[in-house]
Each structure stands twice: as structure tokens, then as C-alpha cells.
Structure 1
Amino acid sequence: MKFRVERDVLADAVAWAARSLPVRPSVPVLAGLLIDASDEGLVLSTFDYETSARATLTAQVSDEGRALVSGRLLADICRSLPNKPVEMVLDGSRVSLTCGSARFSLQTMPVEDYPSLPDMPAATGTVASDVFAHAVAQAVTAAGRDDMLPVLTGVRIEIDGSTISLLATDRFRLSHRELDWSPRSPDESAAALVPARVLGDTAKSLTAGGEVTIALATTGSGEGIIGFEGQAPGGTRRTTTRLLDGEFPKVRSLFPAEHQTTALVDKAALIESVKRVALVAERNTAVQLAFSDGVLTLDAGSGDEAQASESIEATVTGEDITTGFNPQFLLDGLSAIDQPVVELAFTQASKPVVLSGSVADGERDTSFRYLLMPRRLLS
């Protein structure tokens, strides 16, 4: 194996493929990055039996061949190389890497022990890469992080014709994001539960190209695979991940059809106010929000402890209401909303609030909604 490649193209591809390497691999070869040089160019791949990453790039290949080297070490080396062409040669059981006057010699691992990567399913459709990355970033705000409840660490992707819905919940909050896309067939319909961390990382890493291809293969019993493919400098990026097993809770019905009280508040002012008032909130206690004539009053702290209070303008419609929320969960939801004005919609104080962006004339933007359970207030 022998090839020459541009430093920036190689460093970008290696960093991309190595980001999904396991921290503590079950077998040593899974810490490796597979380099496959052929007439068609270079393919760099990683796989941990759950998630695979595969980057193709153009290179001047003199001798075909394959080598397996430590992925993290190669990524660190490529990141620090001078801006000159890189030459890599497989010599016996070692790979030598030369860039300018810098030379490295890396030990290889047995290629024959490396698992073969899963095939990419047939394409289901395409979506604009920047829109998809932003939508996923909004949706994953509510995804669970408790591995004891694996179903809640996923994002449910529901495909219905030309609309994709992303749903995530950790039992205390729920996010719902809808976006348009171009399905392969107009009556495309499917659902999948994708690990939130993998989905978030992948969507963010595929924004270099104009669009992302989504490929979904489900057997109906949860045993399935989803793939994402996008363009990047020097070639394509492709990743697949196994779907999560289990039944995602039926959460759409939690969004109420009507509301008793709605409030329109400047998002930036509310975020700053919550941050200030929450400084005195003990761990796991709520920040109180009291809505009345044109004013939202925030309070935190109780009894003999430190206390804080602040009032900001709000356009309140309906009955006065006082409720309380986990301040960090509230900030997460507010930060995920794009519009400068947010709408908080309530049915009653003990029921969840629905946060959404407000567009012109007080109309709510329904493409992203964030539902948050209230916290019991300390009297």
C-alpha cells in the first residue's frame, strides 16, 4: 500500500471517521481505523458493531492495499502535520507516514480480525444538510441521557410523505420538530428510533455538502439500520447506526389542543432573567413564574436561604397563572427556539407548558414545540 494525499483532505476525513471510535473497545481492533487504498481512491472506515463511519477521498494511489492503525493516534498526528502533501506506505507490519520533514512509523493491527462494515440501505430520500442539522439539534435537547432507559436516549424519526417528524423525551420534557424533505416516493412512510448522540453528531458533521441522503431499513421488530450520506471536501461521508430496540412512548397526544393562558415574552430577556434568578435556586428546586397583567415575575429561593425576584414585560392573554420549572430545562427549551419572541401556552398551573416561537401577528411557529413538566413549588 502506497499513496499520496493532501494534508487537509486527509486530516478532515480521519477526524470525521475517528470521532465514532469507542472509548473502551471490547476488542483491541475496534480502536482501529481501516485504510483501504485502491484505484478508485482512499476509503477510511471505523466500526464498533453499533455505528459505522466511512469516508472516501481522492488520492494518488501507487500500490493498492489495506492497513489497520490506531484511529485516535492517526487523528492526532494528522491534525498536527504541516500543510504539505502526506505520503503513507505499508512496510511489513508498520505504516510509515511522511509529511515534509516529519516522519511517523505506526504499528498495524491484524486487518483480517476487523469486522466488515454493514451495507448502506437503499436511499429513502434527501434533506437540506443545514436544515437537518439545525432540526436535529433542536430535537435532541429533550432526549434522555439515562442508559437505564435506553428507549428514551433515542430520537424517534417519523417519515410521512414529504414531512419528517423528530420526537424526543426524557419524561420531564418533550420536543417535537417537523421539517420538509424530498422522499424517494411521495407516499413514503416509516419510523425509526435512532440514538440521539449519534444522530446529533452525524447531522452536525454532514453540513459541508448541500444535502444529506437518509437511508432507512427496518424489519418492523426494531432490528434495523439507518444510514446518512453527505458530501465533504475531497469525497463522501457515510455513516450507519443500528436502531434502538423498544417501543417509544406515544407522546403526541400530550400536546394540548387548547390553552387557558398564553404569554408572549422576549426570548433574550427571559433567558437572562432565568439565569440570574436561578443563581439562588437550590439544586433540583424550581424557579417560579407568575404571569399577570403585562408582567412576568420570576422568583427563586425560599425560607432562610438566599432569594431572588425579577419582573419582565409579557403579553398575557387569559387567566393569571403561577407555576414553576426546572431552570435548566426551561433554558434548554428557550435556547432551542429560533424566533426572538416565545409563546408560553398553559392549560393550568399543574399541567405542562408548551413553548414555541412566535412569528408576525402573534401566530405561533408550530415547526418546533417544546413541552415542559412543571416542578412543585416550595412554599
Structure 2
Amino acid sequence: MNISLLQENLLKALTRTGRIVSTRPQIPIAGNVLLDAKNGGLSITSTNLETSETVWVGGKAEKEGSVCVPSRLLTELVSSFPAETVHLVVKDEKIHISCSGFSATIPGVPAGEFPPVEPPPKGGEKINKETLVGALSLVLFAAATDEGRPLLTGIKMVSGDGGTTLAATDGYRLSTKTIAFSLKQSTDMVIPARTLSEVLKISLEEKDAKDVVVTAIKDGQLIFSIGDTNIMTRLIAGDYPDYKKIIPKAFNTRALLEKEPLARAVKSAAIFARDNANIVRFTLDKQRVIVSANTPNVGENRIEIDAKIDGEGGEIAFNSRFLLEFLSAFPGDEVLFEMTGALNPGVFRPVKDDSYLHIIMPVRITS
């Protein structure tokens, strides 16, 4: 291998691929990136054995070749270089790196030891990038992070004639978003949330990309292509819980609230809820919502915000962290809140938009 690249482009690619490299890889080779120089540039591939990511960097390759190099070490080294041309030369399984007076040599590992990663086949389907970004932003935060429940660490994706629905739940809350896009074949799969989080990050970074190309390949794998980056992931096997069962079919109270005053009220009440399981109460009464928290030996907080309320009113309590994460992701200026008693799920929706809903399970409280 003998190739020259711009430092900023190489660093961007190494930083991106390094995000999925585990700090404690299951096998030593997974702590490396695979460098593969070909005519026109360099492909950099990383893997955590669940997800693989390949980024293409344009450059001048005088000699093709490939080698594996520790991801973190190479990234830190390149980040210390000036914004000049970086030269990579491999000889006797060692990679020699130089840039404007800087030089280093790193022992490499034969490329054949890196887990195989398939290039995306032709025939993928395009999803508008902005549409996908909006949908992922509304559901990802609701997925579980506890590896003891692997299915809930994924996002359920169902595609049919009526569009594509993304759903995420951790057992305490649920987000669903339907977008006006359908794959050519009906699809029902569970995609790791960590993979889709990376898809979201790259989509936001790739300003010029208009679409995300989705390609299903053999053995339950999926590839997302965004600009010069491909992300391949294994799907999560198993039966995802029937989340539709917890969506209330009716309500006895509905409140229309402005998002910003509600977010400020919850944030203020959360200060007093920290030492009391983050419990924040909503009291709906007479065209207002009272947001409050009370912790013995700490104090109490009460904020009144205007609302348009239809129905019986009542009181319900939620985990303030769940409320704040939802409100932070919610794009609208107004929020519809629906409830049916203190022990039934609370439903949050946009105004005049049935494509999205967020549900939070209430916290049992005593008066």
C-alpha cells in the first residue's frame, strides 16, 4: 500500500468509523480498522461484530494494498497532524505514516484476519434523508439500553401499503412514527437502535446527501448507504412485543399545551424531584395544568401553565426524565396530552398529525 490523502478527510473517516469500535472488543481484531487502498482512494472499515461501517476517502493510490491497524491509536495520531497531506505506506505488515515533518510506524495485522464485510449489492431502495432523520429523532430515545432485554434495544420497522412505521419501547414508554414510504416488499424487522443512532448521526453530518439507500442482504442483514458511508447491521431475532395493546383507544381528558412553557415547568419541577424517583405530578383543572414536585426535606415546587382542557380533568404523575426527553425531541409548538385516570398511560401527540404518538406509563402516587 502506498497512498496519499488529506489529513482532514482521513481524520473525519477515522472518527466516524471509530464510533462503533468497542472499547472492549469481543475479539482483538475488532479493535482495529481495515484500511484498503484502491485506485482513487482508501476504504476504512470498522466492526463491533453486530454492526460494520465502511467509509470511502478519496486519495491518490500509487500502490494498492490492505492492512489492519488499531483504530484508536491511528485516530489519535492523525488528529495530531497538521491539515496537510498524509502518506500511508505499508511494508512487511507495518504501516509508515508521515505528514509534513511528522512520521510514525505502527505494527499492522494481516487484512485477512478482519471479519468479512460485504459491499452493498445493487437494487437498494431510497428513503428521503430528512424524512428518516425526523422519524429516528422521534423514536430512538425510547429504546431500551439494557442488554438483558435485547429485543427492546431495537427499533421495530414495519413496512406495507400504508407506509413504514418505526416503533421503540423500553417498557416504560413508547414512541411510534409512520412515514409515507414503503419498501417494495412488506417488511417486519427489528433493527438495533445503536445502528440507527449511527445512521442518524451520519445523516446529519452528510449535508449534501438527499437520500438514504436501504438494502436487505442475506442472513438477516441490512445495509444503509449515506454518501460515502455504508453501515451493515445484523437484525435482532425474535418476536417484538405487541406494543399496540398498550395504546389507549379512548380518553376522558384532553389538554392542549404549548410545548415551551410545559418543558420549562417540567424542568423546574424536576429539580425538586431528583431525590424522589424523579416524580412530577400533572394536575389538570379549569383550563390550566399544574406541574408540581414534592420531596421531604428538600422542598416543593408548583408551576401553573395555561391549557385548553376538555373532559373530566384529574391528576397523574410521570418520571420527569421521560417527559424531558420526549419534549426535547418533539418538533411542534403545541402538544396534545390525553389521559384516562391516574393509572393508565398518558398519550402525547402533535396537533392534527396522526403519524406520531408518544406514550409514558404513569407513576403510582398517593394523594
Shift of 1:35: 0.8
- Residue 271 of structure 2 aligns with which residue? 279
Post-superposition shift, 1:122? 5.7
SS at match of 1:109: coil
Distance in 1 separating the partners of 2:122 and 2:338: 41
Provide the C-alpha distance between the structure 2 equivalents of 1:378 and 1:146, rounded to a whole number of angstroms.
29
Secondary structure of the 1:15 match is helix
Look up the match of 2:357: 369
Q: 1:120 to 1:298 in 2, by over 3 A?
A: same
Out of 190, 195, 209, the residue aligned to residue 193 of structure 1 is 190
Alignment check: 8 A CA contact 1:216 1:225 kept: yes
TM-aligned CA deviation for residue 310 of structure 1: 1.5
Asked if 1 retains the 8 angstrom alpha-carbon contact of 2:286 and 2:309, the reply is yes
Residues 349 and 124 (structure 1), Cα distance of their counterparts in 2 relative to 1, 3 Å cut: farther
Indicate the SS of the match to 1:366: coil
Normalising by structure 1, we get a TM-score of 0.90
Q: RMSD over aligned Cα, in angstroms?
A: 1.9
Q: CA deviation at 1:374?
A: 0.7
Q: After alignment, is 271-280 or 209-218 more displaced? A: 209-218
2:164 and 2:182 in contact (8 A); partners too: no
For residues 62 and 121 of structure 1, do their structure 2 counterparts lie closer, same or farther at Cα, with a shift above 3 Å needed?
closer
Name the amino acid aligned to 2:365. L
User: What stretches of structure 2 of length at least 5 have no aligned partner?
Assistant: none
Distance in 2 (CA, whole Å) between partners of 1:153 and 1:182 is 23
Identity of aligned residues (%): 26
- TM-superposed CA distance for 1:204, in Å, is 1.7
Task: Please state if 1:269 is matched with 2:265.
Answer: no
Match of 2:347 in 1: 354
**Native 8 Å contact 2:157 2:164 kept in 1:** yes
Instruction: Mark the CA change 1:353 to 1:305 in structure 2 (over 3 Å): closer, same or farther.
Output: same
Corresponding pairs, count: 363
The equivalent residue for 2:34 is 34
Q: Partner residue of 1:343? A: 336
Secondary structure in structure 1 of the residue aligned to 2:144: coil
Q: 1:302 to 1:70 in 2, by over 3 A?
A: closer
Rounded to whole Å, the distance in 1 between the matches of 2:69 and 2:175 is 40
C-alpha contact (below 8 Å) 2:272/2:295 kept by paired residues? no
Deviates more, 1:315-324 or 1:109-118: 109-118
Cα displacement string for residues 18-65 of structure 1 (whole angstroms, at most 9, x for unaligned residues) = 211121112222111111112253211112321111112221110111
The residue matched to 1:349 in structure 2 has which SS?
coil
CA contact (8 A) 1:121 1:227 kept: no
CA drift of 1:286 comes to 1.9
d(CA) in 2 for partners of 1:255 and 1:279?
30
Matched with 2:240 is 248
Report matched runs for 1:121-270 at 5 Å.
123-161=123-161, 163-181=163-181, 183=183, 185=184, 188-207=185-204, 208=206, 209-217=209-217, 224-231=220-227, 236-270=228-262
The residue identity in structure 1 corresponding to 2:49 is Y
TM-score, normalised to structure 2's length? 0.93
Counterpart-to-counterpart distance in 2, 1:27 and 1:169:
31
